[in-house]
Amino acid sequence: MDTLLYSVDQIRAIERAATSALPPGTLMRRAGEAATTYALELLKGRPTDVVLVLAGPGNNGGDALEVAANLAALGCKVKVAWLGGDGAPSPETQAALERAHAGSACFVDDLTDGESHCLVIDGLFGIGPARPLAGRARELVEAVNRKRCPVLSLDVPSGLDADTGAVVGPHGIAVAATYTITFLGNKPGLHTGDGCDHAGRVHVDRLGVDELQVAGVDAEHARARLNLPPLFAACAAPRRRNSHKGSYGDVAVLGGAPGMAGAALLAARGALFAGAGRVFVAAVGDDGAGIALDPTQPEIMIRPAAGFAFGGRTVVAGPGMGDSAGATRMLAQVLDGSGPLLVDADALNLVAASPDLQARLARHDGPAVLTPHPLEAARLLGVTTPVVQADRLESARELAQRLNAVVVLKGAGSVIARPDGEVAVNTSGNPGLATGGSGDVLAGLGGALLAQGWPAWEAALGAVWLHGAAADRLVNCGCGPIGLTAGELPRAIRAELNALAAQSRS
C-alpha cells in the first residue's frame, strides 16, 4: 500500500510534469489499462454478465471510456452511460470516446432499475468536482448506489472530495464504491470521514510515474501519510528482564467526578492493560465518599485529586471530570506541570471555554496529546461540527498548531496532527468503536504509552492504531461491531501491543 497521501494540488503537479514528459494521451491510456486489469482481477476473468460503465465529461470520464473500450475489445458485454458536459472534452477524452464508440460497447441514455450487472465502473468525476452533483449526474449516482453489484470507482468515488473525505456539498451525493483504483498517488479523502464509507478497498496505481522525479512534489512534500506500525513500532521495544514497575511509568487519570466514575475507570483500565507500571485515578471532587476500589481491577489506586502528587507522573486529564470549579483548578495545575499529558473529554471542554487554560496548555512544558472527537474539536476551534468534518485534516492541523500539541481528531479515519503540519490518517478500527467509553480507553492507552517513554507523536499514532486494531481483533472473533463494549477493548489492546513488541524484536 502506498502510504503517502497527496493533495489534489500535488496530484495535479505530478500529472502536469508527467504529461509534459510523455507522449500525448499516455497517462489516460495507462489509467485505462490499469483499471481494466484490476476490474478483470476483481471479476476473476472475463465475465458473462454486462459491465456498466459511467463516464463523465472530464478526464475521469476519459479513463472510464478507455476501460469500456478495453473490456469490449476483450469480448466483454459493456454498456456505457456517458454524461457529456457543456464544453468540448479534452483531446484525450475525445479520443477515448471515439475508441469506445468504434468498438462493441453499447451507449445507453438511462439506467434501467432492476437490470443486473456484474460490475459498475464509476468514471463520472475524479478530482474535478467542486460543486455538489445535481441533475442527471445525481440520478446516475442514486441509481448506482441502489445496485447490489460491486462498484469500482476510478481515481475517486464520484462526488467525494479527494482532499477532505467529505461528500462535495451542500446536500451532495457520492458513489458508494466497493473498490477504488486511484491514480498517480494515494489521497487523504479516501481514508477519512465520508471517504471511509465511499471508497471501499483502495488500490493505488502510480501509472508508471515516479513522483520522486517530479520537481517540487516528493516524499518530503507529502505532508500526510497513512498511520501504520512502521511509524511507531520502534517504540514498542520488548521489556528488559531487569526492570520493575517503576520502569514503565505512572499514569494518573484526573477525572471520575461523583456520578462519572465509569469513564475514569475505563481510562485507568486502558492504561493498565497497555503496560503502565502503576495506575491511579485522581478523583475530582471526591471527599472520600466516592468509590474506593475498582473491584474487577483492584490494581487501580483511587485517591482524591485534591492534594494528589501529579509531579513525575503522566496525567490523563478529562474522563468523567465534569466542569466544576475544582475540576478547572486541578486542570490548571496539571497544565502548568511539566510531565507528559493527555487531555480528553471534559478537560477539552474546559479548555475550549477558557482562554486562560488554552494559554496554559499551549505553554505546557512537556509532551502533550489532545484527543477530541469532532464536537470537542469544534468547541476548541469555535466553529460547528460540520465545519470540522468538512476538512478533518485542516481542522486537526489548525488545533495542533494553536494549542502546540499533538492532536488526535477521532472519528472514521482518525486524523493525527503535529504542530508543524505533519498529519497521519489512521487505517485500523471499525464502527464497533462508536460506543460509550471507547474514547476513555483510548485516552488511558495513550497515557500508558507516554508513561513508558514514547514521544508524543509516536504515542498518539500508536494509541490510535492499537485501539483500532484491538476493535478489529474483537470483530474478527465475533465480538462486534454491533454491541462491542469499551470494557472489552483493554485486553484486546494488550494482545495487539504484545504482538507489536514481539514483531519489533524479530
Annotated binding site for (6S)-NADPHX: 59-63, 126-132, 155, 263, 320, 373, 440
Binding residues: 59-63, 122, 126-132, 155, 158, 263, 320, 373, 410-414, 439-440
Which span (151-159, 213-221, 273-281, 458-466) binds K ion, by CB under 5 A?
A: 151-159
Q: Binding to ligand LZDS7PUF by residue 63, rule CB under 6 A? A: yes
For CA atoms 269, 270, 271, 276, the dihedral sign is positive
Q: Which residues contact 212 (CB under 8 A, 6 or more apart)?
A: 218, 219
In the set 47, 57, 189, 275, which binds ligand LZDS7PUF (CB under 6 A)? 57
Report which residue type is found at 412. Answer: A
Which of 25, 17, 64 is CA-nearest to residue 185?
A: 17
Cβ atoms of residues 128 and 58 within 8 Å: yes
Site string for ligand LZDS7PUF, 296-325 (x = CB under 6 A): ------------------------------
Which span (73-81, 120-128, 248-256, 290-298) binds ligand LZDS7PUF, by CB under 6 A?
A: 120-128
Q: Binding to ligand LZDS7PUF by residue 28, rule CB under 6 A? A: yes
Residues 183-212 contacting ligand LZDS7PUF, CB under 6 A:
183-184
Nearer to ligand LZDS7PUF, 160 or 341 (CB): 160
Which of 502, 366, 483, 367 is CA-nearest to residue 433?
A: 483
- The secondary structure element, H or E, covering residue 341 is strand 341-343
Instruction: Quote the radius of gyration of the chain (alpha carbons, Å).
Output: 25
Angle (CA) 476-482-486 rounded to 5° is 85
DSSP state of 292: -
Q: Binding to ligand LZDS7PUF by residue 154, rule CB under 6 A? A: yes
Cβ atoms of residues 322 and 349 within 8 Å: no
Q: Which residue has the cell 476483481?
A: 42
| CA pair distance 212, 196, nearest whole angstrom | 28
Nearer to ligand LZDS7PUF, 125 or 232 (CB): 125
Nearer to ligand LZDS7PUF, 178 or 498 (CB): 178
| CA pair distance 261, 437, nearest whole angstrom | 11
Closest residue by beta carbon to K ion: 158
In the set 70, 153, 186, 314, which binds K ion (CB under 5 A)? 153
Q: Residue 128 touches which of K ion, ligand LZDS7PUF, none (CB < 5 to 8 A by kind)?
A: ligand LZDS7PUF
Dump the DSSP string for 465-489. HHHHHHHHHHHHTT--STT--GGGH
Binding site for K ion (CB under 5 A): 122, 153-154, 158
Binding site for ligand LZDS7PUF (CB under 6 A): 15, 19, 27-28, 31, 56-61, 63, 85, 92, 125-129, 131, 133, 137, 154-156, 183-184
